[in-house]
Amino acid sequence: MQPADLNLTTTIVGHQLFLFVTFGLSPDTGGADGEMTEALKLLGHGMENIHDVDGPPTEEVFKNGRYQFLRAETALTSDQQIEHPAVSRSDGLIRLECASLEPIRDYEAGLRTLIESHGGSVETLAGVQRPRSYTSYAMTQFAYAHAMPPGPGDKHQLAAVTPMNKTDAWWQMDFLHRESFFLPRYDENENMVVKGHSLASAAGVPGISRRLVHAPEGYGLPENYDFVGYFEFAESDAPVFREVMAALRDTKQNPEWKYVLEGPEWWGRRVKDAEGFLLRN
């Protein structure tokens, strides 16, 4: 389904690719040799390494593209309803973002050739950034004005990726009905009966930096997740992130999740450079 048919914005303000890398097993070809490190550095030439950056990118930098290396935190990753081993069992992730798709698709093609030539594989999740569709001025003040901006990797060490689909029943719903899930609901005496998405997850506003991308080709299609969430936070805020996910998944507090099917909740640790990304344990 296309955003315009759903009363959702059709504007695209950026592109993201999540490149989940599984390294080759062969010890003589898969190691972090200098040649591979150099090739990986070359792929990012002219792009910004997000790792040490505090705050959002400038327009100029966003035009050239940006990347963040992450190593898998396998013990923290969990499968949800949709199994996707190429994501959940990956060794690491390179997250790319750019104003246009071409530079980061070129990076993806180069990475795939490099990793496959060393016996590994790359699984890509793609998404587009869009302005918010359901959010009023007042909700902006509540959910975004005080939200944690992106921070450097030594401050926000951890990240989680949450690919997900919404069910056909969700996409068949009228937009006013869909919009109502983001707000609390009240009975005839104005007592709150459910918190809804925004209030259920409110604990995450000050300490979790969040970004969301939408399926590039339209919603409800088999080739892409409808949404991929990306969250960065300090090690000390990991319990808050877990609390927020538990609250969103509690359909008594957040009935929206009755219409959600999740891919793996993938956890990773941000690493500074190509050397750190390729390092073998």
Which residues contact ligand HEM by CB under 6 A? 132-135, 139, 143, 162, 164, 166, 182, 197-198, 201-202, 204-205, 208, 210, 212, 227, 229, 244-245, 248
Residue with smaller CB distance to ligand HEM, 229 or 276? 229
Q: Are strands 48-49 and 66-72 parallel, antiparallel or unpaired?
A: parallel
CA-based max dimension of the chain:
70
Instruction: Tell me whether residue 195 or residue 197 sits nearer to ligand HEM (CB atom).
Output: 197
Q: Which is nearer to ligand HEM, 71 or 166 (CB)?
A: 166
CB 197 within 8 A of CB 249: no
In the complex, least distance from residue 172 CB atom to ligand HEM, rounded to whole angstroms: 13
Closest CB to ligand HEM among 67 and 227? 227
Which candidate, 167, 221, 212, places its Cα nearest to that of 1? Answer: 221
By beta carbon distance, the residue nearest ligand HEM is 204
Q: CA 260, CA 213: separation in Å to the nearest integer?
A: 16
The Cα 116–Cα 113 span in angstroms is 5
Name the residue among 17, 227, 237 with its Cα closest to residue 122: 17
Q: Which residues of 55-70 are buried (b: 16+ CB within 10 A; e: fewer)?
A: eebeeebbeebbbbbb
* Distance of closest approach, residue 150 Cβ to ligand HEM, in angstroms: 14
Find the shortest distance in angstroms from Cβ 182 to ligand HEM: 5
Question: Is the Cβ of residue 119 or residue 151 nearer to ligand HEM in the bound state?
Answer: 151
Residue 140: CB minimum distance to ligand HEM, A: 8
User: Nearest distance from residue 24's CB to ligand HEM, in Å?
Assistant: 31
Cβ-based nearer residue to ligand HEM, 93 or 205: 205
How many Å apart are CA 123 and CA 20, to the nearest integer? Answer: 5
User: Measured from the CB of residue 126, what is the shortest distance to ligand HEM in angstroms?
Assistant: 16
* Stretch (H or E) spanning 105: helix 102-117
DSSP single-letter state for residue 64: H
Asked if 254 contacts 195 with a C-beta cutoff of 8 angstroms, the reply is yes
